[in-house]
Amino acid sequence: MSAQEICMRVSFLHTHRIFDTSFIYAFNTRAERILLWDSLKSRGDGMTLPWILMGDFNCLRYHHERSGGEPIAPRDLVDLSRLHLQLSDVNHVGCFFTWFNSTISSKFDWVMVNHLWNQLNLDVFAEFVAPGCYSDHAYSVVTVFREEAKRATPFKFFNMWTTHVDYN
């Protein structure tokens, strides 16, 4: 645990699946976030398990991740590829911009997995829900291993389909 990160190992007892997770709440300034990038790099270099990172990274990766406000200087974009952690965004729905004030909208909150997660084809899905009265950030609901909870959907046939001109 540090001021910007809480890490834990998750183990599912009935499936014996194990993965590491990092919950991020990055500092507001670029200089303060350097400690976080160093920590993630150090942790990721020795990572032998699937790893999911989620939370408020408090910075942008690309110019299109902000609407409104001053132009973004290249030095203000974080390039996670420089960490060589092979992180990728998970499939997600909901709000693209995850932080809002009266004039600016930005994507500060991410859910990412490492290459081991993708190699093992582990299921993960995130939904970014619009902020309410408690925060200026969208919160994320992350679901892992959805396939284990899926039930078979019965096929339904309706006799009215046989009356359609193209039925045969």
What distance, in Å, lies between the first and last C-alpha atoms of the chain?
Answer: 64
88: enclosing H helix or E strand? strand 88-89
The pLDDT, as a whole number, for residue 100 is: 87
CA–CA gap between residue 86 and residue 45 (Å, rounded): 10
Q: 72-119: per-residue pLDDT in tens?
A: 888 778 777 678 888 999 999 998 999 888 889 999 999 999 999 999
- Residue 47 CB partners (closer than 8 Å, separation 6+): 20, 114, 116
What token pair was written down for 165? 């001109």
Q: 17-61: per-residue pLDDT in tens?
A: 899 999 999 998 888 998 999 999 999 998 999 999 999 998 888
CA–CA gap between residue 65 and residue 46 (Å, rounded): 30
DSSP codes joined into one string, 22-63: EEEE--SSHHHHHHHHHHHHHHHHT--S-EEEEEE--SBSSG
CA–CA gap between residue 32 and residue 37 (Å, rounded): 10
Question: What are the strands of the beta sheet with 5-11, ordered from one edge?
Answer: 5-11, 18-25, 51-56, 109-113, 88-89
* pLDDT confidence bin for 133, thresholds 50/70/90: low
Question: Is residue 132's pLDDT more than 90?
Answer: no
Question: Is residue 151's pLDDT more than 80?
Answer: no
CA–CA gap between residue 139 and residue 127 (Å, rounded): 8
The pLDDT, as a whole number, for residue 148 is: 53
Class of the domain covering 5-163: alpha beta
Percent of the chain at pLDDT exceeding 70 = 93
Instruction: Indicate the domain borders of the chain.
Output: 5-163
Q: Of 157 and 47, which is predicted with more confidence?
A: 47
Q: Of 102 and 154, which is predicted with more confidence?
A: 102
The pLDDT, as a whole number, for residue 25 is: 94
What token pair was written down for 133? 């009265």
